[in-house]
Amino acid sequence: MKRNYVITSVMIGLAVFVISWLVLAALGSPAPYLGGLVVAFIIFEISFYHLFARNREGNN
């Protein structure tokens, strides 16, 4: 696994956290930090799996 894939997934997760926190705070959510973390974690996992699967297909 290349280090670039991990850095890319973390950057995607951070960007999604900021965007989701802003949206949830604007909507008046009682816990925008928690909601932002949940959404960011899910997107982080999806992006990491996607990059891992693409890397695995390229090695075969």
6-60 confidence digits (pLDDT tens): 888 889 999 999 999 999 999 998 999 999 999 999 999 998 888 888 877 766 5
Q: What is the amino acid identity at position 48?
A: F
| Domain count along the chain | 1
Domain around 42? 3-59
pTM above threshold 0.85: no
pLDDT at res. 52: 80
pLDDT of residue 1: 57
Residues 6+ apart with CB under 8 A from 36: 17, 18, 20, 21, 24
Residue carrying structure tokens 């280090």: 3
Q: What is the pLDDT of residue 60?
A: 57
pLDDT at 7: 86
Please give the single-letter amino acid code of residue 10: V
Structure confidence at residue 50 (pLDDT) = 85
Listed in sequence order, the residues at least 6 apart from 1 whose beta carbon sits closer than 8 Å to its beta carbon are 52, 55
Measure the CA–CA gap between 53 and 36, rounded to whole angstroms.
Answer: 26
